[in-house]
């Protein structure tokens, strides 16, 4: 099993910056990926 965490940042066409935190979960069998799930959440910035 492998888990990777990541942070994606970008700017929407209207100029608003966004951040998305996420992680990917991989399961292997015989050296090959047999399952991959991704979980993510839009990061809310305080007003």
Furthest-apart CA atoms within the chain: distance in Å: 49
Is the model's pLDDT at 46 over the cut of 80? no
Query: Quick one: average pLDDT of 7-26?
Result: 94
Residue 41: band (very low, low, confident or very high) from pLDDT cuts 50, 70, 90 = very high
Of the candidates 19, 25, 12, the one whose C-alpha atom is nearest the C-alpha of residue 43 is 19
> Would you list the domain boundaries of the chain?
2-42
Residue 44's Cβ-count burial label (10 Å; 0-12, 13-18, 19+) is exposed
Instruction: Specify the CATH number for 2-42; select among 2.10.70, 1.10.3470, 2.30.30, 1.10.3300.
Output: 2.10.70
Neighbouring residues of 45: CB distance < 8 A, sequence distance ≥ 6? 19
| Residue the block writes with tokens 């970008």 | 10
Is the model's pLDDT at 34 over the cut of 80? yes
């Amino acid at each position: 099993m492998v888990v990777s965490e990541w942070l994606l940042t970008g700017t929407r066409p209207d100029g608003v910056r966004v951040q998305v935190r996420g992680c990917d979960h991989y399961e292997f069998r015989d050296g090959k990926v047999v399952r991959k799930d991704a979980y993510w959440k839009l990061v809310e910035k305080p007003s």
